[in-house]
Amino acid sequence: MGARVTGLLVGMLMIFHAPAQQVESGERQGLLQATGSLYPGWMLNHNVRNNYAGGHFAYYFDDHYSFRGEFLGYVDAQTDEKYIKKHLLVQAGFGRHFPLKRWDPFIYAQMGLSGIELQGSTNAFLRPNVGLVAGAHYNVSRFFYFYAECEFMHMKDPERVNNLDQLLVTAGLGFQLPTRK
């Protein structure tokens, strides 16, 4: 019942908004995007590789600028050596887009908060983090896009005087909804 009503509401919004926007021609304003993916990561201060799962949503308030929120959860290390035990992070920020027909190269500057617990420790910490994301979208249709991106994430190690930087990459298929009349 709930899913049907939600589907009906989304359908009605899509019809009533009657999007005249043509992502094919480079128009982006009003696009609402969401996706989920896996994020392999390389720790830059340790010889450890990690896996994260997460996603982001973005809203274009201008053809060239958007707001984005991102959340990631640590799954496990890819390597035998592990440094992180638990890690959840949320980030929000603004991006600059360079739309060219269906292509949409972008950069985002994001900031957020990490809840993190390291191996060998029983203490969990809240630590601020910042991220710089670069990547590109390819708009397959009005409602779907392919994307690939790379993120440099910086934060301070809560257990010692050190940085806890990571390079994360991801790619996949995203869903988008034109909300502009």
- Name the residues that contact another protein, by CB under 8 A: 1-2, 5-6, 9-10, 13, 17, 29-30, 32, 59, 61-62, 64-65, 67, 92-94, 96, 109, 111-113, 125-130, 154-161, 179-180
Q: How far apart are CA 181 and CA 171, in angstroms?
A: 30
User: Of the two residues 90 and 171, which places its CB atom closer to another protein in the complex?
Assistant: 90
Work out the burial of residue 136: count CB atoms within 10 Å of its CB; fewer than 13 is exposed, 13-18 middle, 19 or more buried: middle
User: Of the two residues 34 and 171, which places its CB atom closer to another protein in the complex?
Assistant: 34
Nearest C-alpha neighbor of 24 from the set 98, 99, 96:
99
Q: Tell me the closest approach of the beta carbon of residue 38 to another protein, in angstroms.
A: 25
Q: Tell me the closest approach of the beta carbon of residue 125 to another protein, in angstroms.
A: 7
Q: Tell me the closest approach of the beta carbon of residue 2 to another protein, in angstroms.
A: 5
At 27 the three-state DSSP class reads coil
User: Of the two residues 61 and 152, which places its CB atom closer to another protein in the complex?
Assistant: 61
Buried b (16+ CB within 10 A) or exposed e, 137-175: bebeebeebebebebebebbbbbeeeebbbebebeeebe
User: Of the two residues 40 and 55, which places its CB atom closer to another protein in the complex?
Assistant: 55
Q: Tell me the closest approach of the beta carbon of residue 138 to another protein, in angstroms.
A: 23
Query: Are 165 and 154 spatial neighbours (Cβ–Cβ below 8 Å)?
Result: yes
